[in-house]
């Protein structure tokens, strides 16, 4: 067993554009579930809207990269409105079913061969970072940066800096929002919707705003992911939503840094398991085949999710009193 | 017409003439085409091909080439060859279509991509574009027969969904849990049938009931080992729902761990086709599957309406506290509901394995949202509503593939799910107070 490369790969997993993208989406989920109490199981759909919105705007409509990203965000606002209007007046689990269904509808629409010229069907979309000018906007001169497992070329560095900036701004925004009067009303709705309504607040409007803001974070996650890899419909599946939920609940749903830290822990753990399980299988310590070893980590994710929810629903960094709304 | 704009008058005339000939040959003479197999030979580049069936040339097959505002067509000669000149340069893309209507009865394009393909002009001309042609895959049935066939498939699919949906709905009604792991109970039934039928070589009439019993036992075990302790622990419904998601992930990937990522067939999946009328035919397994579904659903309805436990179940769905106060053993009824829910889901899984066909580790997850759509459509927590919702969803999914691409057929049902929440959130048979 090559412990050096396992350790190296795991440490490299600490800072990747992918982890930043998932952290952004988890932050959006924290807005939805942790602060507003909305059961959004369609966060993968929000990510897909952001990523496809960006890629299609650049490839089909020839917009520059920044305009494409704005289009991706705008599309997620529309998506939130479409989902929110029928469901936000209803009980929470209706939103859960509708969001998961809406995300699946989107994925099937992106996957179908009927719109292949625009969506690329199962192949997805690529090349938009070059044709949209995102790659050219790179301020770093060519070369290698960083040290040890964190060595990046100028392109990856640019993706990381871009992703980190978006994540930092989003985190700051969430923090500022949650200590504002608006945030207190949203948290009030989470605790007792009727009480807030009795105070004369328009609960529906607040919920909708929360859904939109969290959705924008999700879309930004999709966009950051799109800057580093191709846009592929196979990524935005229901399982991704569940993984993001696991990361959120691991860190702490009703916290600012919990979602970010939870994502990092979750995906570094994933990177570790991806490396160590096949290695264990290969060296005969685990009596399973390599493919089975790769499957095993998803089994562990499922078990982990159950254990967190049962034994520590507030997450690692959360406060139990913040989670009394979960009824 | 693009056809007009891209052509000069002379070529237009000859193209029109050829089109006319093509139409006459395509629809009139058919089998004995003349030498009208090439068009646009004065152009620099062209696309050519050879239409053959089992090595024999096929004449009279209409070929169409479109792209870059240009559009031309021809029919293959007696030697099966065709040639269409195109005005484009290297790198231009053209769409080549083989008109399947002009193929002999029962013959179709069998290669990947079907009867239309995109070709890119290369350095050499002409470009060769051939289609693979084989027997039997082209459906040559009338619209009416297609609709009837789709309705029957939809009914079959709907009944199968119904078996899974009533269980989900009952669990929701009695415990309030939206059980995302229900899809894995469906897969469990199919996998159990696979292990018993194909692994242990039991005859299917033993293996399937045994798989259903095992699924019921699984429902019992899940309630005894997981759900009841969690209820006693006082976990909130949202927490329980997320636990069910974790359970669903665990179980799904455990199935993948044991049966692998491929598709396995149950014994008897390749049964004979029974012609019903016209060109509508159903396989023997489809017919048996429908009969089983109907019998089991009727038995379930009798249980729910007539037996003491069934009445108690409905009482708990209505008002658990009142039911408990009137002396109903809520935990015992919930245990029964889990067993029945598991058994019905397992049976649905076996039937779904024959309907798809094949067993795959995520086969349950593929229809989970359709089951949820059915339950929501009928009204969350109502057993008969779930049944009606299932039939609507099943028929909708199957008939919608007549109008929209087949890979979008689940979308229609999911759109209905969202639509019903807009206009009648309590579902077809639900009561208004439930949506709170």
pLDDT of residue B24: 39
CA distance B87 to chain A (A): 23
> Parallel, antiparallel, or unpaired: how do β-strands B93-98 and B127-128 relate?
unpaired
pLDDT of residue B394: 93
What distance in Å separates the CA atoms of residue A142 and residue A228, rounded to the nearest whole number? 17
Query: Which positions ≥6 away from A230 have C-beta within 8 Å?
Result: A124, A125, A126
Say if the Cβ atoms of B247 and A302 lie within 8 Å: yes
A 10 A CB-CB count for B234 gives 7
Q: Among partner residues B376, B415, B435, which is closest to A105 by beta-carbon distance?
A: B415
What distance in Å separates the CA atoms of residue A220 and residue A38, rounded to the nearest whole number? 19
Write out residues in chain B with pLDDT < 50, as ranges: 1-10, 12-13, 16-36, 136-139, 434-436
pLDDT of residue B183: 95
Taking CA atoms, B156 is separated from B150, B237, B291, B367, in Å, by 10, 33, 9, 14
To 5 degrees, how large is the angle CA B207–CA B209–CA B212?
105
Taking CA atoms, A58 is separated from A61, A62, A78, A121, A252, in Å, by 6, 5, 19, 17, 36
What distance in Å separates the CA atoms of residue B373 and residue B164, rounded to the nearest whole number? 12
A314 forms beta bridges with none
Q: Among partner residues B246, B261, B414, which is closest to A306 by beta-carbon distance?
A: B246
Question: CB-based burial of residue B90 (10 Å sphere; 0-12 exposed, 13-18 middle, 19+ buried)?
Answer: exposed
B118 forms beta bridges with B95
CA distance B278 to chain A (A): 31
Q: Is the ipTM of this complex over 0.95?
A: no
Say if the Cβ atoms of A327 and B236 lie within 8 Å: yes
Taking CA atoms, B323 is separated from A102, B171, B310, in Å, by 37, 16, 13
CA distance B158 to chain A (A): 19
pLDDT of residue A174: 96
The pair of three-digit structure tokens given for residue A106, joined into one six-digit string: 């989107």
pLDDT tens digits for range B250-292: 999 999 998 888 888 888 777 777 777 767 778 888 889 999 9
Say if the Cβ atoms of A93 and B241 lie within 8 Å: yes
Q: Is the predicted pLDDT of residue A202 greater than 90, yes or no?
A: yes
pLDDT tier for residue A212 given thresholds of 50, 70 and 90: very high
What distance in Å separates the CA atoms of residue B69 and residue A45, rounded to the nearest whole number? 37
Taking CA atoms, B173 is separated from B180, B181, B184, B247, B369, in Å, by 15, 16, 20, 20, 18
The pair of three-digit structure tokens given for residue B101, joined into one six-digit string: 């209507």
pLDDT of residue A87: 83
Say if the Cβ atoms of B250 and A306 lie within 8 Å: yes
CA distance B86 to chain A (A): 22
For the entire predicted model, the pTM comes to: 0.80
* B72 three-state secondary structure: strand
* B31 three-state secondary structure: coil
Say if the Cβ atoms of A292 and B257 lie within 8 Å: yes
pLDDT of residue A149: 87
Nearest to B170 by CA among B291, B398, B336: B336
pLDDT tens digits for range B303-339: 999 999 999 999 998 888 899 999 899 999 999 999 9
All domains of chain B in start order, with CATH = 2-135 (2.60.40.10), 143-435 (1.10.3470)
To 5 degrees, how large is the angle CA B122–CA B125–CA B127?
70
Say if the Cβ atoms of A303 and B365 lie within 8 Å: no
pLDDT of residue A246: 94
Q: Among partner residues A92, A105, A245, which is closest to B242 by beta-carbon distance?
A: A245
Chain B residues in contact with A112 by the CB 8 A cut-off are: 405, 407-408
H helix or E strand, kind and range, residue B86: strand B81-86
CA distance B376 to chain A (A): 9
CA distance A295 to chain B (A): 6
Nearest to B181 by CA among B266, B108, B248: B248
Chain A residues in contact with B410 by the CB 8 A cut-off are: 104, 108
A21-38: b (≥16 Cβ within 10 Å) or e: bbbbbbbbbbbbbbbbbb
Greatest Cα-to-Cα distance within chain A, rounded to the nearest angstrom: 66
Residue of A nearest to B372 (CA): A97
**B176, B178, B246: which to substitute to probe chain A, counting the most A Cβ within 10 Å?**
B246
What distance in Å separates the CA atoms of residue B316 and residue B231, rounded to the nearest whole number? 15
The pair of three-digit structure tokens given for residue B272, joined into one six-digit string: 């004979």
**B165, B238, B419, B433: which to substitute to probe chain A, counting the most A Cβ within 10 Å?**
B238
Lowest mean pLDDT among A68-72, A74-78, B415-419: B415-419
* A151 three-state secondary structure: strand
């Amino acid at each position: 067993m090559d412990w050096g490369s396992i350790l190296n790969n795991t440490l490299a997993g600490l800072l990747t554009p992918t982890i930043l993208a998932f952290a952004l989406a988890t932050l959006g989920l924290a807005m939805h579930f942790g602060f507003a109490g909305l059961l959004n199981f369609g966060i993968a759909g929000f990510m897909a809207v952001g990523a496809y919105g960006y890629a299609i705007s650049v490839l089909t409509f020839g917009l520059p990269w920044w305009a494409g990203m704005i289009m991706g965000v705008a599309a997620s606002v529309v998506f939130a409105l479409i989902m929110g209007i029928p469901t936000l007046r209803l009980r929470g689990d209706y939103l859960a079913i509708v969001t998961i269904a809406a995300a699946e509808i989107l994925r099937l629409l992106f996957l179908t061969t009927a719109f292949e010229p625009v969506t690329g069907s199962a192949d997805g979309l690529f090349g938009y970072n070059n044709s949209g000018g995102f790659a050219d906007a790179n301020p770093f001169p060519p070369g290698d940066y960083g040290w040890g497992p964190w060595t990046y070329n100028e392109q990856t560095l640019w993706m990381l800096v871009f992703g980190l900036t978006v994540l930092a701004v989003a985190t700051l925004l969430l923090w500022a929002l949650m200590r504002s009067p608006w945030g207190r009303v949203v948290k009030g709705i989470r605790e007792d919707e009727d009480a807030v309504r009795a105070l004369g607040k328009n609960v529906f409007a607040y919920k909708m705003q929360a859904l939109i803001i969290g959705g924008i974070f999700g879309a930004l996650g999709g966009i950051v992911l799109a800057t580093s890899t191709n846009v592929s419909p196979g990524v935005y599946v229901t399982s991704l939503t569940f993984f993001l939920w696991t990361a959120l609940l691991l860190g702490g749903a009703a916290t600012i840094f919990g979602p970010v830290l939870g994502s990092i822990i979750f995906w570094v753990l994933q990177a570790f398991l991806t490396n160590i399980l096949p290695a264990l299988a290969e060296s005969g310590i685990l009596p399973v085949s390599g493919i089975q070893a790769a499957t095993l980590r998803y089994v562990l994710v499922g078990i982990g999710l159950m254990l967190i929810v049962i034994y520590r629903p507030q997450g690692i960094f959360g406060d139990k009193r913040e989670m009394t709304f979960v009824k | 017409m693009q056809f007009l704009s891209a052509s000069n008058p002379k070529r237009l005339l000859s193209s029109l003439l050829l089109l006319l000939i093509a139409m006459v040959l395509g629809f009139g003479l058919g089998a004995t085409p003349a030498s009208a197999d090439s068009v646009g030979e004065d152009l620099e580049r062209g696309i050519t091909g050879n239409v053959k069936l089992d090595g024999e040339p096929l004449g009279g097959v209409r070929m169409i080439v479109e792209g870059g505002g240009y559009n031309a067509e021809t029919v293959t000669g007696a030697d099966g060859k065709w040639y269409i000149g195109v005005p484009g340069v290297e790198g231009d893309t053209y769409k080549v279509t083989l008109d399947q209507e002009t193929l002999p009865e029962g013959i179709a394009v069998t290669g990947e991509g079907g009867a239309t393909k995109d070709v890119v002009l290369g350095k050499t001309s002409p470009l060769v574009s051939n289609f693979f042609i084989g027997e039997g895959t082209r459906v040559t049935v009338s619209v009416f027969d297609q609709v009837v066939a789709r309705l029957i498939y939809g009914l079959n699919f709907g009944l199968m969904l119904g078996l899974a949906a009533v269980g989900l709905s009952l669990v929701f009604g009695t415990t309030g849990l939206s059980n995302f792991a229900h899809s894995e109970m469906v897969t469990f039934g199919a996998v159990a049938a696979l292990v018993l039928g194909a692994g242990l070589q039991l005859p299917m009439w033993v293996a399937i009931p045994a798989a259903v019993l095992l699924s019921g036992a699984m429902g019992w075990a899940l309630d005894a080992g997981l759900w009841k302790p969690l209820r006693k622990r006082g976990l909130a419904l949202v927490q329980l729902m997320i636990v069910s998601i974790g359970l669903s992930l665990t179980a799904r990937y455990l199935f993948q761990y044991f049966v692998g990522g491929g598709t396995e067939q149950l014994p008897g999946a390749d049964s004979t086709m029974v012609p019903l009328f016209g060109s509508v035919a159903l396989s023997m397994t489809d017919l048996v599957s429908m009969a089983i579904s109907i019998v089991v659903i009727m038995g379930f309805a009798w249980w729910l309406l007539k037996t003491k436990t069934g009445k108690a179940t409905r009482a708990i769905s209505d008002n658990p506290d009142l039911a408990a106060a009137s002396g109903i053993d809520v935990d015992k009824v919930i245990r029964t509901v889990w067993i029945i829910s598991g058994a019905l889901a397992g049976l649905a899984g076996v039937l779904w394995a024959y309907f798809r066909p094949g067993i795959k580790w995520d086969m349950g997850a593929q229809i989970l949202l359709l089951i949820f759509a059915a339950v929501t459509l009928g009204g969350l927590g109502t057993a008969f509503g779930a049944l009606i919702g299932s039939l609507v969803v099943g028929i909708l999914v199957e008939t919608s593939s007549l109008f929209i691409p087949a890979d979008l057929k689940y979308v229609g049902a999911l759109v209905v799910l969202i639509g019903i929440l807009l206009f009648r959130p309590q579902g077809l048979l639900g009561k208004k107070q439930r949506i709170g």
